[in-house]
Amino acid sequence: MPSGLAFSADDAAIERLKTAGASEAVLTAISDAGSAKPPAASGPDITFEDLLKLVSLGIDDESILKRLQKTPTVLTPSAEQVAALKQAGASDKLIAAMQGVRPLSPQAAELITDFAIVLDCSGSMKEKTPEGETKMEAAKRVVTDLVQKIPEGLNVTFVLYGHEVFGRADDPRNCNAVKVARPISPLDSAGKAQLGSLIAGLRPTGATPIALSLNVAAKELAKHDSFSGLVLITDGLETCNGNPAAEAAALAANKCTFGVHVVGFGVKPEEDKALQGIADAGNGKYYSADSADELGDALKELRQELEVVAKPADKKISQRRAIKVLKPEVEFPEYKEIQVVSFGIGSSSVDATGKYGEEIRIPSSSTKYEIRWVPQSGQAVAILKDFTLAERKVVEIKPEEHLGMIQVNGKGTPKKGILVYQRGLGSIIGLQQCKKFGEIMVVPAEKVIVSVDDEDIEQDLEVEAGTLHELE
């Protein structure tokens, strides 16, 4: 934030201000603000009239606050004085700082990363707009446009109230009808589409628990230790005996530096003041919209301001935990796919499949997997067994470093086929099989037994990786 004055505080300028009737406090403030020297530890008293003149002269917020910090006078403006300061051009941040809602810096200078949208879905949203559509339909269209144009990467939560109704109108459950439709999380293009679909399905039904909705939104924003903002779109006042202004003030006091902004849509003139009070308490702005077009204009202005202060949340990019089985450099038979298979108690499941050169995700860092090569016909064969991948990285695997091939040649057609197997405890473990002589079978690079028509023709064949073993 820039400091100092918007003009040169030379002797001639000071003299002109004296002639115009500026007090000693104002002249000191201007002189201090325009000087490169550090401010003194204390200064003269400053009155409300002095403060009002500083604002009228266009002195920036930081210089005014520095002046106030030096004076022994503590100025806490009344409601009438706040109105006078605003008319003179005082910013909401300056007024909030004077009221003790929050210091102007460093928080006010921070970019926000989190944002909450609170939408009224109460029964009164069924009322028609001057254009002929319901308030709900207009709000859905305009809020969807806001969502689509919010800077990507901003953490966004979406809160509804009045979206459901229970029993009679005085049923206490109606005042608890507040829902976090989208928990606070980074909003990307996919999230925008999902949120747009959710908004399209909303229907106006219930009560207007504004205070509770602000409290729920505050809890979502409190999940991150970040600077934030909020917009409330409503067509009426609190109907559940809550205190929305108090909830807005609590938000403003807890890193809601962008403020609690309120958009009153088609509200009665006598309701504007109460909604303005919520925005004032939350250090935000109040927008009164009587038509769908005005609602769109209000949210467009708010969105443009949001773009200025929005800072996408920090991203932590985690690499994929995956394998990539490369195409063999030696000729292998045609294959169907590569499988990643996990083993549980008494069962196994195919967790992922892929082709040569593709990254195949490994879901767990601790589970043991079997990486299988699956032929067009015959049995799947394990490239790797008991494979785990603790780190987030992509591991490349060459099948020819783990698998070999066997081809049994002969005349005619085997009656029972050709089998490659190993002996286990009281049983045989089939590794591969085929029905014809001359077919190439892919098998593990281990010691195997080869059988034709149930007769072993080779009992101690050491299969070498990447090698074709021909048997007659």
Over residues 428-472, the pLDDT tens digits come to 999 999 999 999 999 999 999 999 999 999 999 999 999 999 998
CA distance 372 to 341: 8
Q: Does 228 have pLDDT greater than 70? A: yes
N-to-C CA span, the chain: 86
In the structure, what pLDDT confidence band is assigned to residue 15 with cuts at 50, 70 and 90?
low
Residues with Cβ within 8 Å of residue 313, at least 6 apart in sequence? 113, 114, 153, 154, 155, 186, 224, 226
CA distance 351 to 224: 34
pLDDT for res 12: 55
Per-residue pLDDT tens over the stretch 334-345: 999 999 999 765
In the structure, what pLDDT confidence band is assigned to residue 60 with cuts at 50, 70 and 90?
confident
CA distance 324 to 355: 9
Per-residue pLDDT tens over the stretch 158-170: 999 998 888 776 7
Could you give the strand order of the β-sheet that contains 286-289, starting from the edge strand earlier in sequence?
A: 178-186, 155-161, 114-120, 228-234, 259-265, 286-289
Q: By CB neighbour count within 10 A (0-12 exposed, 13-18 middle, 19+ buried), where does 236 fall?
A: buried
DSSP string for residues in 178-217:
EEEEEEEEE--HHHHHHHHHHHHT----B---HHHHHHHH
Q: Does 314 have pLDDT greater than 70? A: no
Cα radius of gyration (the chain): 36
* CB 44 within 8 Å of CB 27: no
Could you give the strand order of the β-sheet that contains 455-462, starting from the edge strand earlier in sequence?
A: 428-434, 418-423, 447-452, 455-462
Strands 335-344 and 347-354: antiparallel
Dmax over CA atoms of the chain, in Å, equals 120
pTM score, whole prediction: 0.48
CA distance 212 to 210: 6
